[in-house]
Amino acid sequence: MQKALDNIIHEVREELEGNILPFWTDRMQDPSGGFHGRIDGHGKLVPGAEKGCILNARILWTFASAYRLLGRPEHLAVARRAARVIMDRFVDGEYGGTFWSLDAVGRPLDTKKQIYAIAFAIYGLSELHRACGDEEALECAVSLYRSIEEHSFDRERNGYLEALSRTWGPLGDMRLSDKDQNDAKTMNTHLHILEGYTALYRVWKDEGLADRLRNLILIFVDRILLPDGHLALFFDEDWNVTSHVTSYGHDIECSWLLQEAADVLGDEELSRGVSAVCDRIAGASLEGWTPGKGMVYERDLDDGSVDGDRHWWVQAETVVGCFYQWKRSGDPAWLGRLADEWAFIKAHIIAPDGEWYWSLRADGSVNLDDDRAGFWKCPYHNGRMCMELIEGK
């Protein structure tokens, strides 16, 4: 069993160092500054593409974490490059928070305050401080945290509003993407605020932040977790559930991020309770997983339809979720699922000319219509998968 895991860890390290990181270092750095906005599904650079805050924040996190783990100065250089883009271009020096996007030459394009994106900036900047002690990055992360708490936190009903205008006023369209519902509160944004706050608390032991992190954990347990172990996705301001879709990738991702948050907080009683919750979420996620075929995207409970595409990020999070379920429980079945999922990724998701495909379609064809790198396609899910196994072995 341990030998099989050691072999997988050797392979994911080769994948990280030989494919994922070099792709972003060699092909995504923009000579005019920062990073290109997009490489399409065929591996071709798209000149003039919009540059997203999420893309840059995830590059920052990935390369800062890689430097912390591997100690290579070239990874720190890429992380610092990404941090400068975040702090110099994306951070709104007048109103606080971050812009949603820049144009191809680095000027503000979409200036709304999408809380999901701000949370990712906190995540990346906190990891850079953790990796090399960068005080400017920590100061910026703390400032962004305070902006979220001042403007997004719902003091009356609890939780965080999805998005606001540049000046932190109401926003008619709060959607994270075109496929999302226009609702005031979402599981996805709360999950990544949790992730960002966990990273920040790891390096900045502030009592107020500890309280906010604990509150986020309890929001998941009390508001977002459904009786069947899945996560509700969309809510109105009063926390009424407004959708009936199961997202299997978010289920399995939450099953380990929620445990990580409780463990970093350092409350043993809370960690034990959360562990039981995470067991339920991980177990429920297996409804979307089939041996040899990976994890499907989502199911619409109203009509029973299934989006059977195997998205790159869902497969990566399945590996990590199985890994931590095995570590917590010692159940060899979870390690078997991990090995099966990794074999599926190697066979169908890794692109031979660099990085990972967006997805394998339900009909078995490779998805070349969606990006290889871009606004949403970043090195964070697959890079983090590799690093979680390497560091957690």
The token duo for 32 is 């005019």
Instruction: Give one word for 163, left, alpha or beta, with left for phi > 0 and alpha for psi -120 to 50.
Output: beta
CB atoms within 10 A of CB 305: 11
> How does pLDDT run across 257-268, given as a tens digit for each residue?
999 999 999 999
Class of domain 2-392: mainly alpha
> For residue 320, what pLDDT is reported?
98
> How does pLDDT run across 71-88, given as a tens digit for each residue?
999 999 999 999 999 999
3-state helix, strand, coil in the chain (%, to 5): 55, 10, 35
**Section 204-225 average pLDDT:** 98
In order, the DSSP letters of 147-213 are: HHHHHTB-TTT-SB-SEE-TTS---S---SSTTS---SEEHHHHHHHHHHHHHHHHH---HHHHHHH
Res. 277: pLDDT tops 90: yes
Instruction: From 213, 86, 239, select the one nearest 161 (Cα to Cα).
Output: 239
Quick one: CA torsion of 239, 244, 248, 251, rounded to 10 degrees? 20
List alpha helices for 204-245, DSSP H: 207-219
> For residue 4, what pLDDT is reported?
86
pLDDT band at 206 (very low <50, low <70, confident <90, very high): very high
- Asked whether 16 and 66 are in contact (CB, 8 A), the reply is yes
**Section 133-146 average pLDDT:** 98
pLDDT band at 179 (very low <50, low <70, confident <90, very high): confident
